[in-house]
A and B are shown apart, each in its own frame.
Chain A
Amino acid sequence: MAIIKVPVAPSSSMNQDRVVSGLLKSQILHLQEAELRLPAKYQTNIYIHSIRTERDAGEYIRQVTEAIHSAHASRLRLIKKRKPTPTFEIAAAAAEPRDTRTKKAPAKKKKKGRK
């Protein structure tokens, strides 16, 4: 069985400051289309026309890709939560002791700007 040696690309070929190609520009435009359909809290507010380099592009691509996954995961959790509980489970739940622990209210966001 032959073992073929594969030369490794030199690290000098790395260039995060390379100007984005037409391919990456299109990828960014497509991601923006998807981003604008996300709920506002998942949007990056990155101005895509300021993206010049592969470094900038990668950062935007990462943020939107992660946001799409987060938004879907959150939606799935919500759907699961809303799922109507079958009657027998309600009956079983009633038999269990009530959780009396105090729930912490979510921290309110500080408003910026004029008071």
Chain B
Amino acid sequence: MPPPGLDNLKHIVVLMMENRSFDHMLGALKAKDSRIDGLTGTETNPDTTTAAAPVLPAAEFQSQLDPDPDHHFPAVNLQIFNGGTTPTMQGFVKSYFNQRQDVAHSQKIMYYFTPEKLPVLSTLATEFAVFNRWFSSIPGPTICNRAFAHYGTSFGKVAMDLFYVNEPFKSIYNRLIDANPKHTAKLYYFDETSSTMEIVNLLQHQPELFGTYKDFMDGCKKGQLPDYCFIEPNYNDHDGDDGEQLASDQHPDHNIQAGESFIASVYQAIKNNANLWKSTALLVVYDEHGGIYDHVPPPPCTPDGFVASANDTGIGAEFKFDRLGVRVPAILISPWVPKGTVVDGRIFEHASIPATVTEHFIGAYDQRSPREKQAETFLDLLTSPTQRTDCPDFQDE
């Protein structure tokens, strides 16, 4: 018999934020709970003078990581391998130095937030399930990493360029709406002025799959969410129907606090509807590390059958998709997740998202990338024998 949380589960909601590493956002939680694989405070990276640049709890909400730290394939390769062949995570400061040639500034890539500065993310991480080993799918930038969340592969891409879906790997949305019995799925972008990162394959050909964040909020109020929802934050500062809209994606150099409010609003919209709350699992995850320091070397993984050429990787060697990208924050939220769960000893990546959704709503499904077939799924974490009634609420200050 499945645990009651899984038995009640009708909706899976994924909120994917932008460009922050695990240690940068949640590393300080190790001091509160030693099971969380964060920072001891002794981690360093050599700067270009060979002096040790330490991790420091000095991250700021905005205007600190400017220029945007490089997180394209060659830069991430340097960050992880520091010019060698062993993943030591010693090349972050050197990589950031390459952009501004400023030693003092390059050390800021080691800065991290204290839990007090991130009340939403820190509270969710300690109240629900935080993953010690959730890695981005590729040591590279946004678009190819997000592709793993939608398709279980990036179809051989390691950069921001266009990619086209190759059969037989359907998007998770198409799998659900084509299934028998049919399921429902939607991608919610913030609004038309922010739009989506999933343009060339989905928005262009299937705009009916998309809704706005307002639609998501209305759906929560009415208790009418699709079976699977994927939410994208606001990617730019702009004027909207309700006044000024701050970018909420947390991509440098957007304000971190706007992202905190956004995460809280997604959580609260689900929680405010009692029926939805008991039947929904929310995953908050970041697409990639954005060039910011993390201390855990990304592990090898099952190749996904594609190969990026030496020309595409920009490092003079091809990439067989046999290693994951840098670790990112990931938190699973549900009243059926025991308080203070720390997921350890298992490796997750963005292919875990379509793998989990497929497993729960469709069951056996063969036409998936080898990476997705091997990916860990996460609904076994809904183990609480009874629905929790002690979950926190968020309120704007």
Q: Which residues of A contact B (CB under 8 A)?
A: 1-9, 11, 13-16, 18, 21-24, 26-27, 29-31, 33-34, 37, 54-55, 57-59, 61-62, 64-66, 68-69, 72
Whether B175 sits at the interface, judged by CB under 8 Å, is: no
**Given A37-B204, A55-B238, residue A26 in contact with residue B396 (CB < 8 A):** no
Residue contact B162 to A30, C-beta cutoff 8 Å: yes
Q: Which of A7, A58, A66, A72 contacts B194 (CB 8 A)?
A: A58
Residue contact B389 to A6, C-beta cutoff 8 Å: no
Whether B102 sits at the interface, judged by CB under 8 Å, is: no
Whether B260 sits at the interface, judged by CB under 8 Å, is: yes
A85 to B390, CA, bound (A): 58
Q: Which of A1, A7, A54 contacts B392 (CB 8 A)?
A: A1
CB distance from A14 to the nearest CB of B (A): 5
**Given A6-B261, A69-B207, residue A18 in contact with residue B253 (CB < 8 A):** yes
14 contacts between A and B (CB under 8 A): A4-B123, A5-B395, A6-B260, A7-B397, A8-B397, A13-B246, A22-B141, A23-B18, A23-B197, A23-B235, A27-B235, A30-B162, A31-B195, A61-B194
Q: Which of A8, A16, A30 contacts B237 (CB 8 A)?
A: A16
Q: Mark B250-273, 1 if CB is under 8 A from A, else 0.
A: 011101111011001000000000
Contacts of B197 in A (CB 8 A): 23, 27, 30
**Given A1-B390, A31-B199, residue A62 in contact with residue B261 (CB < 8 A):** no
Residue contact B18 to A5, C-beta cutoff 8 Å: no
Whether B224 sits at the interface, judged by CB under 8 Å, is: no
A64 to B390, CA, bound (A): 45
CB distance from B145 to the nearest CB of A (A): 12
Contacts of A22 in B (CB 8 A): 68, 141, 160
Q: Which of B68, B142, B199, B394 contacts A6 (CB 8 A)?
A: B394
Residue in B closest to A34 when the chains form the complex, CB atoms: B204
Residue in A closest to B234 when the chains form the complex, CB atoms: A58
Q: Mark B194-208, 1 if CB is under 8 A from A, else 0.
A: 111101100110011
Residue in B closest to A25 when the chains form the complex, CB atoms: B160
Whether B367 sits at the interface, judged by CB under 8 Å, is: no
Whether B391 sits at the interface, judged by CB under 8 Å, is: yes
Contacts of A27 in B (CB 8 A): 195, 197, 199, 235
Q: Which of B61, B251, B389, B392 contacts A3 (CB 8 A)?
A: B392
CB distance from A48 to the nearest CB of B (A): 13
Contacts of B236 in A (CB 8 A): 24, 54, 57-58, 61
Q: Which of A4, A57, A72 contacts B208 (CB 8 A)?
A: A72
A74 to B392, CA, bound (A): 46
Residue contact A58 to B193, C-beta cutoff 8 Å: yes
Contacts of A11 in B (CB 8 A): 244
Residue contact B203 to A14, C-beta cutoff 8 Å: no
The 5 A-B pairs with the shortest beta carbon distances in the complex, nearest first, are A9-B257, A58-B238, A26-B160, A13-B255, A34-B204
Contacts of B119 in A (CB 8 A): 4-7
Besides A6-B396, A9-B61, A16-B239, 12 other A-B contacts (C-beta < 8 A): A2-B123, A2-B393, A4-B393, A4-B394, A8-B397, A23-B18, A23-B19, A23-B251, A33-B199, A54-B237, A58-B238, A65-B196
Contacts of B359 in A (CB 8 A): none
CB distance from B209 to the nearest CB of A (A): 11
A11 to B237, CA, bound (A): 11
Residue contact B204 to A68, C-beta cutoff 8 Å: yes
Contacts of A9 in B (CB 8 A): 61, 246, 255-258, 261
**Given A6-B261, A58-B193, residue A34 in contact with residue B393 (CB < 8 A):** no
A4 to B391, CA, bound (A): 11
Contacts of B251 in A (CB 8 A): 21, 23
A4 to B203, CA, bound (A): 36
A21 to B214, CA, bound (A): 25
Taking CB atoms and an 8 Å cut-off, the chain B residues in 241-297 that contact chain A are: 244, 246-247, 251-253, 255-258, 260-261, 264
Residue contact B238 to A16, C-beta cutoff 8 Å: yes
A72 to B244, CA, bound (A): 29
Whether B332 sits at the interface, judged by CB under 8 Å, is: no
